[in-house]
């Protein structure tokens, strides 16, 4: 339900209209909201621990939903605490460190995997679908009474904004999120409130 805007007339005097996404409105979650979402996921059924781990990994590594459902155990090095991230949309791959909290979640998932090659799998061992993930997030948001956005890309944006708010330089964020162009990364640093800290003091 975007706004319809009138474009400049072409030489043939034909008027064209395009539908745009509404300007404004937050498209990311805060770190605290991600935690609430993960806690909400634990309350939603028998796969609560898997779904909470899914939210944690998507957020911590800025994964797109297709990268998340395609994540395989061959990309996870539990001994070295590393995650080999393969990016979609011609993004640049990277190797991310994995925290102790993530390792605990991943080890629990691996014990329950029953030989499935996919980190986030169904009870039949197949990979979850992108629609599965959207439903997981919707249920978790409802359980957490979360008012912010609860779509998969909000978690990727949350990762970028969290890194920017911590003062991470733009090039590092670009490499971490796998952006080919830095223009996709600067939105995080441009909107980070921390960049204006200390401009005025009492």
Catalytic residue among 21, 89, 166, 197: 89
Give catalytic status of residue 89 as yes or no: yes
What is d(CA 40, CA 52) in angstroms, rounded to the nearest whole number?
8
Catalytic residue among 153, 171, 180, 197: 153
Give catalytic status of residue 153 as yes or no: yes
Give catalytic status of residue 28 as yes or no: no
What interhelical angle do 100-111 and 48-60 show, nearest 10? Answer: 140
Give catalytic status of residue 188 as yes or no: yes
Q: 20 and 3 in contact (C-beta within 8 Å)?
A: yes
Catalytic residue among 50, 60, 156, 157: 156
Give catalytic status of residue 179 as yes or no: yes
- DSSP labels for 26-82? --S--HHHHHHHHHHHHTSSTTHHHHHHHHHHHHHTT--HHHHHT-BGGGEETTTTE
Catalytic residue among 36, 64, 87, 157: 64
Catalytic residues, which ones? Answer: 64, 89, 153, 156, 179, 188
């Amino acid at each position: 339900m975007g706004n319809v805007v009138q474009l400049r007339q072409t030489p043939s005097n034909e008027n064209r209209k395009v539908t745009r996404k509404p300007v404004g409105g937050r498209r990311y979650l805060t770190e605290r909201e991600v935690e609430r979402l993960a806690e909400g996921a634990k309350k939603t059924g028998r796969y609560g621990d898997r779904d909470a781990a899914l939210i944690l990994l998507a957020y911590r590594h800025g994964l797109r939903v297709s990268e998340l459902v395609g994540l395989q155990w061959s990309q996870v090095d539990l001994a070295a605490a590393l995650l080999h991230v393969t990016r979609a949309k011609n993004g640049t791959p990277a190797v991310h460190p994995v925290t102790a909290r993530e390792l605990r979640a991943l080890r629990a998932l691996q014990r329950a995997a029953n030989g499935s090659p996919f980190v986030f799998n169904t009870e039949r061992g197949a990979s979850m679908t992108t629609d599965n993930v959207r439903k997981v997030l919707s249920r978790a948001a409802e359980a957490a009474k979360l008012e912010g956005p609860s779509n998969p890309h909000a978690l990727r944006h949350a990762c970028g904004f969290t890194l920017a708010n911590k003062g991470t330089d733009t090039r590092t964020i670009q490499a971490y999120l796998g952006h080919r162009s830095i223009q996709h990364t600067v939105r995080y640093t441009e909107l980070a409130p921390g960049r204006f800290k200390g401009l005025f003091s009492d």
